[in-house]
């Protein structure tokens, strides 16, 4: 699953939060230059692309986590199915997203270029809380939504 954020620091915080919650086995960050249309204007800006490695079974929870913590009004979040993966790598990813899996009752503050917002401000703005039980899965190559 892939998203973009405003800075490498934002990407690192997002990656640490979501990999730390075992929604992804790892995240890779890379500097990119984006050209896009926003509010009817052509824009260009440096960004950080974050690639999360997860399973199909954890994709929905990972997407919800990205959306809950993301600093953008409309984050780019997309994914594609894994057609082929080295069996050892696939087993590592599967084990990594299950190992410390537990019920999620709330998310920390959103990630933004200005740092982490105070917990009260985040709740007032988004009101996002969830309770999810981890689900079992069998294969990393399961199609992502």
Domain coordinates in residue numbering, the chain:
2-126
Contact call for residues 56 and 140 (beta carbons, < 8 A)? yes
Task: Give the per-residue pLDDT at 8.
Answer: 98
1-35 pLDDT per residue, tens? 999 999 999 999 999 999 999 999 999 999 999 99
Task: Give the per-residue pLDDT at 111.
Answer: 55
This prediction has a pTM of 0.70
Please name which of 112, 109, 106, 113 lies closest in space to residue 129, comparing C-alpha atoms.
Answer: 106
73-91 pLDDT per residue, tens? 999 999 998 999 999 999 9
Task: Give the per-residue pLDDT at 116.
Answer: 37
Task: Look up the CATH architecture of domain 2-126.
Answer: 2-Layer Sandwich (3.30)
Helix/strand/coil for 79: coil
Task: Give the per-residue pLDDT at 123.
Answer: 30
Task: Give the per-residue pLDDT at 109.
Answer: 56
49-62 average pLDDT score: 96
81-125 pLDDT per residue, tens? 899 999 999 999 999 998 554 444 444 555 554 443 333 333 323
């Amino acid at each position: 699953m892939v998203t973009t954020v405003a800075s490498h620091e934002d990407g690192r915080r997002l990656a640490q939060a979501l990999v730390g919650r075992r929604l992804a086995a790892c995240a890779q960050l890379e500097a990119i230059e984006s050209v896009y249309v926003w509010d009817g204007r052509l824009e260009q800006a440096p960004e950080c692309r974050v690639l999360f490695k997860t399973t199909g079974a954890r994709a929905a929870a990972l997407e919800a986590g990205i959306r809950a913590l993301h600093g953008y009004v409309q984050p780019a979040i997309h994914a594609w199915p894994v057609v082929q993966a080295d069996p050892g790598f696939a087993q590592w990813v599967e084990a990594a997203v299950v190992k410390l899996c537990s019920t999620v009752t709330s998310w920390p503050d959103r990630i933004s270029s200005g740092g982490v917002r105070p917990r009260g401000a985040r709740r007032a703005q988004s009101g996002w809380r969830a309770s999810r039980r981890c689900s079992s899965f069998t294969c990393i190559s399961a199609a992502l939504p």
